[in-house]
């Protein structure tokens, strides 16, 4: 084994690993697995020229920068689809600023080629066991049943990545905390990045967490039981007090694999107090509402996202639906909080749908 020299960057994809645990590395041809930790050196700067550490600080990187990296899969239509290679390679791609690595399979044509990382070896302990982020969860697994009632869950989903979900989640956190309510926040799926949950924390949510706290560098290609395990462990940790609110963001869009798995599960949908749907534009919002209703049997309580910032998009939306829209960039705090605090009518809506009665909304009336 070789000693890891001082001066390396420890990125946020390795959130559960302490710097004191990074001591040794050795080369091995073992097939990489999600969460495997490696020591490497930046060999060529491409799209990513920085790394985010576990405190959210952004480090500029250069050819020759040494850092810790973590194998994981990424789904990002605006950037890359990247997968863990089926064998150890000498050089891999930097898939995200959080330090997650793999091999780019597809990429957005508007994005530069990925930054390259040369692998020096797996990080291991004194006995030679390879460190894996999943072996060091910061939230200890709980097998106990959930108590009821629970904290009211505000669920935010959308049409795609970068549709304004995190901005809407932060607005909800600020609206509720400004009125004195205690808010916890979580991001259940996605790729390791502290930006979104730190945004919710800045808006008053505390404590806050995401899947990296459980040792997962990403959630792409996880099985449904693993996804539900993440959701339920975060629920058990942060949403036990019925007086509190739990703001939860799901990454990517409705037709993305993991998002669809969660929204298809009664374990998730039964927890919804208010559902907020975000979109880039009015047309995306209209299509998304239709998919929500037809595929998942869900109706949004509020619309937001990037489209909410444009009066023209909002005007277009009002011709198709009577679901309220709130501008997440300039939210009217008291009005937003009033809606979030309102009674949950979801069970009544579902009962009507099951009985064959039409939903009371302009969208349904128009058959959109």
Q: What is the CATH number of the domain that holds 341?
A: 3.40.50.300
Half-sphere exposure of 143 (CA within 13 A, CB side): 0
The pLDDT > 70 percentage for the chain reads: 94
Name the domain count of the chain: 2
Q: Does residue 221 belong to any structural domain of this protein?
A: yes
Please give the residue that has the higher pLDDT: either 141 or 26. 26
Cα angle: 17, vertex 2, 50; to 5 degrees: 50
Q: Does residue 110 belong to any structural domain of this protein?
A: yes
Q: Does residue 143 belong to any structural domain of this protein?
A: no
Residue 4: which of 85, 15, 17, 13 has the closest Cα?
17
Alpha-carbon distance 193 to 162, whole Å?
13
Alpha-carbon distance 12 to 98, whole Å?
5
pLDDT of residue 16: 98
Longest dimension (CA), the chain: 69
39 and 180, same domain (yes or no)? no
pLDDT, mean of residues 271-297: 97
Task: Catalogue the E-assigned strands of 208-338.
Answer: 208-210, 245-253, 272-278, 302-304
Half-sphere exposure of 279 (CA within 13 A, CB side): 23
pLDDT of residue 360: 29
278 and 317, same domain (yes or no)? yes
Q: Does residue 73 belong to any structural domain of this protein?
A: yes
Domain range enclosing 194: 152-365
Residue 188: which of 144, 149, 232, 141 has the closest Cα?
232
114 and 196, same domain (yes or no)? no
Pair type for strands 91-94 and 100-107: antiparallel
99 and 156, same domain (yes or no)? no
- The string of pLDDT tens digits covering residues 211-250 is 999 999 999 999 999 999 999 999 999 999 999 999 999 9
180 and 54, same domain (yes or no)? no
pLDDT, mean of residues 4-31: 97
Burial classification of residue 355, based on how many CB atoms lie within 10 Å of its CB (0-12 exposed, 13-18 middle, 19 or more buried): exposed
Residue 322: which of 274, 354, 272, 364 has the closest Cα?
364
> Which of 60-74, 169-183, 285-299, 332-346 bottoms out in mean pLDDT, i.e. has the lowest?
332-346
Alpha-carbon distance 42 to 63, whole Å?
5
* Average confidence score pLDDT of the chain: 93
Asked if 158 contacts 306 with a C-beta cutoff of 8 angstroms, the reply is: no
Q: Does residue 140 belong to any structural domain of this protein?
A: no
235 and 337, same domain (yes or no)? yes
Alpha-carbon distance 204 to 301, whole Å?
22
Give 142's pLDDT tier (boundaries 50, 70, 90).
confident
158 and 101, same domain (yes or no)? no
Alpha-carbon distance 188 to 169, whole Å?
13
Q: Does pLDDT of 356 surpass 90?
A: no
Half-sphere exposure of 137 (CA within 13 A, CB side): 15
pLDDT, mean of residues 305-334: 95
Q: Which of 108, 135, 162 is the last residue of a domain?
A: 135
C-alpha 85: how far from chain center: 23
Burial classification of residue 329, based on how many CB atoms lie within 10 Å of its CB (0-12 exposed, 13-18 middle, 19 or more buried): middle
DSSP state of 353: H
Q: Does pLDDT of 350 surpass 50?
A: no
109 and 185, same domain (yes or no)? no
13 and 129, same domain (yes or no)? yes
Over the range 186-219, which residues count as b (16 or more CB within 10 Å of their CB) and which as e? bbbbbbbbbebbbbbbebbbeebbbbbbbbbbbb
pLDDT of residue 141: 86
pLDDT of residue 346: 64
Q: What are phi and psi of 106, to 5 degrees?
A: -135, 155
Q: Which of 67, 101, 135 is the last residue of a domain?
A: 135
Q: Does residue 162 belong to any structural domain of this protein?
A: yes
Q: Does residue 227 belong to any structural domain of this protein?
A: yes
Q: Does pLDDT of 257 surpass 90?
A: yes
Burial classification of residue 82, based on how many CB atoms lie within 10 Å of its CB (0-12 exposed, 13-18 middle, 19 or more buried): buried
288 and 173, same domain (yes or no)? yes
DSSP state of 208: E
- 261: its two tokens: 């798995």
CA-CA distances (angstroms) from residue 355 to 112, 358, 359? 52, 9, 11
166 and 285, same domain (yes or no)? yes
pLDDT of residue 249: 98
167 and 127, same domain (yes or no)? no
Q: Which of 101, 135, 169 is the last residue of a domain?
A: 135
What's the sign of the alpha-carbon dihedral 290, 317, 156, 103?
positive
pLDDT of residue 366: 39
Q: Does pLDDT of 149 surpass 70?
A: yes
Residue 281: which of 306, 247, 315, 253 has the closest Cα?
306
């Amino acid at each position: 084994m070789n000693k890891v020299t001082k001066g390396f960057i420890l990125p946020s994809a390795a959130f559960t690993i302490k710097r004191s645990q990074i001591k040794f590395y050795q080369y091995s041809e073992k097939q990489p697995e999600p969460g495997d930790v490696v020591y490497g050196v930046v060999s060529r700067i491409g799209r990513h020229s920085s790394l985010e550490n576990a405190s959210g600080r952004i480090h500029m990187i250069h050819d020759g920068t040494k850092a810790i990296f973590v194998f994981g899969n990424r789904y990002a239509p605006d950037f890359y689809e990247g997968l863990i290679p089926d064998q150890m390679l000498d050089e891999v791609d930097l898939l995200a600023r959080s330090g997650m690595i793999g091999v780019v399979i597809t990429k957005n044509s508007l994005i530069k080629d990925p930054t390259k990382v040369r692998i020096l070896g797996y990080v291991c302990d004194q006995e030679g066991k390879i460190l894996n982020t999943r072996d060091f969860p910061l939230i200890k697994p709980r097998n106990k049943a959930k108590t009821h009632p629970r904290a009211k869950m505000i669920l935010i989903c959308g049409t795609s990545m970068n549709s304004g979900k995190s901005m809407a989640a932060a607005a909800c956190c600020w609206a509720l905390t400004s009125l004195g309510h205690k808010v916890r926040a979580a991001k259940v799926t996605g790729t390791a990045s502290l930006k979104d949950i730190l945004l919710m924390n800045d808006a008053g949510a505390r404590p806050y967490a995401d899947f990296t706290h459980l040792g997962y560098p990403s959630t792409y290609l996880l099985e449904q039981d693993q996804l539900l395990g993440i959701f339920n462990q975060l629920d058990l940790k942060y949403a036990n007090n019925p007086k509190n609110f739990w703001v939860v963001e799901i990454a990517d869009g409705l037709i993305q694999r993991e998002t669809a798995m969660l929204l298809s599960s009664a374990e998730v949908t039964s927890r919804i107090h208010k559902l907020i749907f975000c979109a880039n534009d009015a047309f995306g919002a209209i299509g998304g509402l239709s998919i929500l209703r037809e595929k998942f049997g869900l109706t949004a309580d509020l619309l937001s996202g990037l489209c909410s910032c444009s009066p023209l998009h909002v005007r277009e939306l009002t011709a198709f639906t009577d679901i309220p829209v709130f501008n997440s960039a300039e939210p009217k705090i008291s009005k937003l909080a009033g809606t979030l605090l309102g009674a949950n009518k979801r069970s009544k809506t579902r009962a009507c749908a099951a009985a064959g009665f039409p939903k009371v909304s302009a969208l349904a009336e128009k058959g959109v």
